């Protein structure tokens, strides 16, 4: 459902997130919408490119979905005390008590994990679970629990993410 809306409106995620931002290239964020645990921002980067981000934050950690209308949808998992060497690794995500998702070849760098959704039916189902879910959990590739975030408000926030990316075009 969600990815279908994305494809129909040519929404995708920000590739500019493929590398961590440096202190000199901090983006400017403009509040767009907030509901329950979620906020949506329009983010302007140093090169003046724009993206929309729907994010749920908890102290020291966040889960975000990035979209810019041109690139692949990007998931971002962030924790302030992570310190990854740049590399790639498989991660596992579970929404509520549904079957887990193996996200292969995620990009790890500094304190963030980025994963670009490939599109298609699997991504459609994954994002549909986010919209309908209550909690998203992140696990290491060995199955060890890492972090969890509330999905309360995700449905309305994802609708606003779609609206936001349409306004970028």
- DSSP state letter for 23: G
Query: Residue 67 is encoded by which pair of tokens?
Result: 């979209």
Please list the pLDDT of the chain residue by residue as tens digits (169 residues): 333 333 233 233 333 333 344 444 688 999 999 999 899 999 999 999 999 999 999 899 999 999 998 888 899 999 999 999 999 999 999 999 999 999 999 999 999 999 999 887 888 889 899 999 999 999 999 999 999 999 999 999 999 998 999 998 8
- DSSP state letter for 26: P
Cβ proximity of 52 and 12 under 8 Å: no
120-132 vs 154-168: helix axis angle to the nearest 10?
A: 130
Q: How many domains does the chain have?
A: 1
Cβ proximity of 42 and 28 under 8 Å: no
CB atoms within 10 A of CB 97: 10
d(CA 107, CA 91): 10
pTM: 0.83
**In terms of residue numbers, what domain contains 125?**
2-168
H helix or E strand, kind and range, residue 166: helix 154-168
């Amino acid at each position: 459902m969600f990815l279908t809306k994305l494809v129909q409106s040519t929404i995708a995620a920000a590739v500019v997130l493929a590398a961590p931002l440096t202190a000199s290239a901090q983006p400017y964020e403009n509040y767009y919408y907030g509901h329950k645990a979620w906020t949506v921002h329009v983010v302007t980067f140093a090169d003046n490119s724009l993206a929309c981000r729907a994010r749920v934050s908890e102290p020291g950690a966040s889960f975000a979905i990035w979209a810019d209308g041109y690139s692949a949808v990007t998931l971002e998992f962030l924790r302030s005390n992570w310190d990854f060497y740049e590399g790639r690794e498989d991660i596992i995500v579970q929404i509520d008590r549904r079957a887990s998702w193996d996200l292969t070849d995620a990009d790890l760098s500094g304190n963030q994990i980025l994963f670009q959704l490939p599109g298609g039916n699997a991504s459609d189902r994954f994002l549909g679970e986010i919209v309908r879910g209550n909690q998203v959990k992140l696990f290491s590739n060995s199955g060890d629990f890492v972090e969890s975030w509330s999905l309360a408000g995700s449905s309305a926030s994802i609708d606003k993410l779609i609206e936001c990316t349409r306004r970028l075009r």
